[in-house]
Structure 1
Amino acid sequence: MKHRGRHRRRRRGRALRASLAGTALALTAAATLISTSQATGSGTPGALSSIGSSSQLREFQLRESLVDETALDALTSEMGGGVGVDEVLGSANHTMRTEADCYDTEKAALPVEPAVARAYCWESGDAVNDNWLPQSVTTSRDNRVIVSGWTHTARTGGADDEGLARVAFVDASDPANLTYRWTLLVVPKADGDGFEAVRSGLGGMAWYEDKLIVTARSPESTGRQDDSLYVFDLRRFLRADVTGSDVIGKVGDGWSAHHYRYVLPAVASYSPSSGGGCDARDNDGVPCFGSLSLDRTSTPPSVVANEWFRPSSEEPARVWRYALDITPERVGLLTASGARADVDAVQAYETGAAGVQGVLSHKGDWYVGQAGRDREVRGTLWRQDEDGARAAKCAGDVAGSKAYACWGRHTASLSYSPVTGEVWTLTDPIPARVLYAVRLSKVDSALG
Structure 2
Amino acid sequence: MKHRGRHRRRRRGAAVRAFLAGTALALTATATLISASQATVAENPGALKPLTSPADTDQLRLQEHLVPARTLNRLASSMGRPVGVDAVLQSADRTLSVSADCTSEDHASLPVAPAATRAYCWDPADTATSAWRPASVTTSGDADDDGVWGTHRAILTGWTHSTTTGATAERGLARVAFVDADDPDRPVYRWVLLVVPVDGGRDYRGLASGVSGMVWYQDKLLVTTTTGSADALYVYDLDRIQRATVDAPAIGRVPGGWSADGYEYVMPAVGSYRYLGGRCTASGPPCPASLSLDRGTAPDSLVAGEWTAPGSDRHARLWRYAFSTDPARAGLLATDAAGRVDAVEAYRTRATGIRGVLSYRQAGAKGPSWYVGQLSGSGDGHGGLWRQDAKRAKAAHCGSDASHHCWAASAGSLSYWQETGEVWSVSDRMLFAVPLAVLDGSLG
Q: Do the two structures share a fold, i.e. TM-score over 0.5? A: yes
The whole-number CA distance in structure 2 between the counterparts of 1:225 and 1:65 is 15
Q: 1:208 matched to which residue of 2? A: 217
How much does 1:140 deviate?
Answer: 0.7
Give the AA of the match of 1:328.
P
Q: 1:119 matched to which residue of 2? A: 119
Q: 2:303 matched to which residue of 1? A: 304
Stretch of structure 1 that moved more, 367-376 or 89-98: 367-376
The whole-number CA distance in structure 2 between the counterparts of 1:87 and 1:198 is 22
How much does 1:258 deviate?
Answer: 1.1
Structure 1 contact 292–305 (Cα < 8 Å) conserved: yes
Instruction: Give the 5 Å matches for 1:180-191.
Output: 180-191=189-200
Structure 2 contact 42–351 (Cα < 8 Å) conserved: no
Summarize deviations over 1:328-356 as a string: whole Å, max 9, x none.
100110111132x1111111111111111
Summarize deviations over 1:140-187 as a string: whole Å, max 9, x none.
1216101011111141332x5332111100001100001100001112
Query: Does 2:434 match 1:438?
Result: yes
Q: 1:286 matched to which residue of 2? A: 285
Q: 1:344 matched to which residue of 2? A: 342
The whole-number CA distance in structure 2 between the counterparts of 1:425 and 1:65 is 30
Say if 1:308 and 1:37 are closer, same or farther in 2 by CA, change over 3 A. farther
Give the secondary structure class of the aligned counterpart of 2:200. Answer: coil
Percent of aligned positions with the same letter in both sequences? Answer: 49
The whole-number CA distance in structure 1 between the counterparts of 2:348 and 2:110 is 28
The whole-number CA distance in structure 2 between the counterparts of 1:55 and 1:323 is 20
Q: 1:193 matched to which residue of 2? A: 202
Unpaired runs of at least 5, structure 2:
1-35, 142-146, 362-367
TM-score (norm 1): 0.84
Match of 1:378 among 372, 376, 382: 382
Query: Does 2:151 match 1:148?
Result: no
How much does 1:227 deviate?
Answer: 4.2
The whole-number CA distance in structure 2 between the counterparts of 1:42 and 1:241 is 49
Give the secondary structure class of the aligned counterpart of 1:386. Answer: coil
The whole-number CA distance in structure 2 between the counterparts of 1:442 and 1:277 is 39
Give the AA of the match of 2:424.
W
Q: 1:68 matched to which residue of 2? A: 68
Instruction: Give the CA RMSD over aligned residues.
Output: 1.9
Say if 1:278 and 1:92 are closer, same or farther in 2 by CA, change over 3 A. same
How much does 1:225 deviate?
Answer: 5.5
Structure 2 contact 196–207 (Cα < 8 Å) conserved: yes
Give the AA of the match of 1:156.
G
Say if 1:241 and 1:323 are closer, same or farther in 2 by CA, change over 3 A. same
How much does 1:370 deviate?
Answer: 1.6
Q: 2:294 matched to which residue of 1? A: 295
The whole-number CA distance in structure 1 between the counterparts of 2:160 and 2:380 is 23
Say if 1:376 and 1:68 are closer, same or farther in 2 by CA, change over 3 A. closer
Structure 1 contact 201–225 (Cα < 8 Å) conserved: no
Q: 1:52 matched to which residue of 2? A: 52
Query: Does 2:198 match 1:166?
Result: no
Q: 2:21 matched to which residue of 1? A: none
Summarize deviations over 1:219-273 as a string: whole Å, max 9, x none.
xxxx666842111111111110112x11111112311111110011111110111
The whole-number CA distance in structure 2 between the counterparts of 1:396 and 1:318 is 32
The whole-number CA distance in structure 2 between the counterparts of 1:233 and 1:42 is 38
Give the secondary structure class of the aligned counterpart of 1:75. Answer: helix
Structure 1 contact 152–164 (Cα < 8 Å) conserved: yes
The whole-number CA distance in structure 2 between the counterparts of 1:123 and 1:116 is 20
Structure 1 contact 152–165 (Cα < 8 Å) conserved: yes
Q: 2:257 matched to which residue of 1? A: 254
How much does 1:440 deviate?
Answer: 0.3
Q: 1:355 matched to which residue of 2? A: 353
Say if 1:86 and 1:49 are closer, same or farther in 2 by CA, change over 3 A. same
The whole-number CA distance in structure 1 between the counterparts of 2:115 and 2:357 is 19
Query: Does 2:253 match 1:240?
Result: no
Match of 2:395 among 391, 394, 398: 391
- Say which one has the larger Rg: 1
The whole-number CA distance in structure 2 between the counterparts of 1:38 and 1:177 is 35
Unpaired runs of at least 5, structure 1:
1-35, 218-222
Q: 2:319 matched to which residue of 1? A: 320
Structure 1 contact 187–197 (Cα < 8 Å) conserved: yes
Structure 1 contact 37–43 (Cα < 8 Å) conserved: no
TM-score (norm 2): 0.85
The whole-number CA distance in structure 2 between the counterparts of 1:345 and 1:404 is 31
Structure 2 contact 230–274 (Cα < 8 Å) conserved: no
Paired residues, what number?
A: 393
Give the AA of the match of 1:157.
A
The whole-number CA distance in structure 2 between the counterparts of 1:246 and 1:87 is 23
Give the AA of the match of 1:436.
F
Give the AA of the match of 1:442.
V
